[in-house]
Amino acid sequence: MTGALRSPIVRKAPAKLNLYLHVTGKRPDGYHLLDSLVAFATIGDELQAAPADRLSLTAEGPFSAKLDGPPGENLVWRAAERLAAHLGRPPEAALRLIKYLPVASGIGGGSSDAAATLNALCALWEVSPEAEALAKIGLALGADVPVCLNGKGAWLGGIGEEVLPAPPLPSAPLVLVNPGIGLPTPAVFKARHGEFSPPNRFTQAPRNTEELAELLAHRRNDLTEAAISLVPSIAEVIERLARADGALIARMSGSGATCFALFGTAAQAQEAARRIAEERSSWWAAAGNLLS
């Protein structure tokens, strides 16, 4: 079969959720130190990679228009170039990004897209770099890319480069809601004030969604107050999620502005997403599950 007839390699780029996020300190260079439980959702973008004689990138989907700047500034393009440079080969691939997730929304869309690109191109080019080398390429692209390469529930430490396996998590029904406002991560960290929090990891594997919600209730997202000071509608999103029928816990993910809630049943999550989207046409709402 010739390269032109090969089917594209398809990889999902799932939304990354910080189920809790504690800011534990700050380095002399200004980067903040974190303790966070990261999980992934069934909601996400899609990355396709097909054979080509040069590198190209097309974007489509509900949020593709929000990808500002030339292709060379996109994390997907940069991931392809860095992987090709590491392998000592030209970055020959036709990349297609289907953008379902809001941009600059605190759920790692760009980082997950970059990780999906690295994984798709390894399959397309039939190479298997060492996991450590791939993680190093990912870290050069962004602090969240290594954990997105892992694609599983994980403890995040340091500035994001420390990734350790977390206990198995249940396939919890959830809803993601974004108020339609992009929120750059550096601005949120700059707006954060106050004391640092201690790490608060747990060892037990929650048996169900209710146990996971109870564990999270004793932890928090230390960036919430700073994010709300920049985008006040985040508080409204959290409040609306919290009062939805069947919601067990509601909070902001990452640096915002996307928030999430865990639900007792998938039907409750789907109904909550439907109602919220109906009530707030400018908001983005989607129902899914945690990837267990």
Antiparallel, parallel or unpaired: β 9-26 and 162-165:
unpaired
113 is a catalytic site residue: no
3-state DSSP assignment of residue 160: coil
Amino acid letter, residue 135? A
Spatial distance between the Cα atoms of 42 and 287, rounded to a whole number of angstroms = 9
Q: Per residue in 73-106, is it b (16+ CB within 10 Å) or e — as a string?
A: ebbbbbbbebbbebeeeebbbbbbbbbbbbebbb
**265 near 246, Cβ under 8 Å?**
yes
Q: Which among 35, 45, 144, 222 is annotated as catalytic?
A: 144
Spatial distance between the Cα atoms of 125 and 131, rounded to a whole number of angstroms = 16
Q: Which among 12, 16, 35, 113 is annotated as catalytic?
A: 16
Spatial distance between the Cα atoms of 251 and 216, rounded to a whole number of angstroms = 10
Round to the nearest angstrom and report the end-to-end CA distance of the chain.
Answer: 36
222 is a catalytic site residue: no
Give the catalytic positions in this structure. Answer: 16, 144
